[in-house]
Structure 1
């Protein structure tokens, strides 16, 4: 998977945001609905990406404590 997944999910979210521009034309207050949906999609993507990317390249590598030298 790797870093390309972040790019592809970003394209899907961008497509959903563009779709939200045209979906809420018949609502009572379309600007409010568009703004809320685009902000929700973009912030959910941002939280997912900021959680996923540090798992790909951790700053501190995990160390196992159960390894022991046999004497």
Structure 2
């Protein structure tokens, strides 16, 4: 059984990257655009990874054994 520790670890790393993007973007005419773009990119990448990871932990669909035996000719 997989644990949720990697999810929270990746969340902490993502929040750290978002904070770094907020603090270390240089001042200029496009500062808000760069901050928003970087923070949105980190958030979307994290959400994509998290949804994929959690979907593998408990899949909704899978192979189910049939109740009627199949005869292969």
Q: Same fold (TM over 0.5)?
A: yes
Question: Structure 1 stretches (4+) deviating beyond 2 angstroms?
Answer: 25-28, 59-64
- Give the equivalent residue in structure 2 for 1:58: 59
Distance 2:48 2:17 in 1: 17
Deviation at 1:25, TM superposition (A): 2.8
Q: Aligned with 2:11: secondary structure?
A: helix
- Give the equivalent residue in structure 2 for 1:68: none
Name the stretch that deviates more: 21-30 or 41-50: 21-30
Matched, 1:39 2:44: no
- Give the equivalent residue in structure 2 for 1:7: 8
Q: Which runs of 5+ in 2 are unaligned?
A: 66-73
What is the RMSD computed on CA atoms of the aligned residues?
1.8
Distance 1:41 1:57 in 2: 25
Aligned residue pair count:
64
